[in-house]
Amino acid sequence: MNGLMNRVSRKVAVDIFLMLSTWMAWCLPFYFGFFILAHFVPQIQLDHNFFDGAVQASKIYMLVVGIILSLYVPVAYVRQGVTRKNMFKGMLLGMSCMAGLLSIAVQILHGFSAMI
């Protein structure tokens, strides 16, 4: 992997991944809590299971995060002396890892919601 990405790109990837993980740590518990609450409140009726709803919510989450990242993050990295090439490589790796982690987290939470 040393030939594909240099040290700066890996630092950017880790930074992006940690930032998005923090945002996801706030987003998923609210969705999971709402879904669990919907099972116990008879007035709230859901037409889908947790996985279907989480996939749709994840699409919207990644769209919003992508827009935020593309508008504000490049300016901050370029001001710190990171080249655009390193920044885009790091953002690609960080976002890809985040999408993988989000998929795994949704699968785990779907397993928990199926137990209820």
Rounded to whole angstroms, the Cα distance separating 112 from 50 reads: 10
Report the percentage of the chain scoring pLDDT > 70.
97
pTM over 0.85: no
Rounded to whole angstroms, the Cα distance separating 101 from 87 reads: 21
Rounded to whole angstroms, the Cα distance separating 116 from 101 reads: 23
Question: How far from the centroid of its chain's Cα atoms is residue 72's Cα?
Answer: 17
Rounded to whole angstroms, the Cα distance separating 18 from 98 reads: 9
Tally of residues, the chain? 116
pLDDT in tens, 73-106: 888 888 999 998 999 899 999 999 998 998 898 8
CA diameter of the chain = 57
On the question of pLDDT at 42 being above 80, the answer is: no
Confidence of residue 16 (pLDDT cuts 50, 70, 90): very high
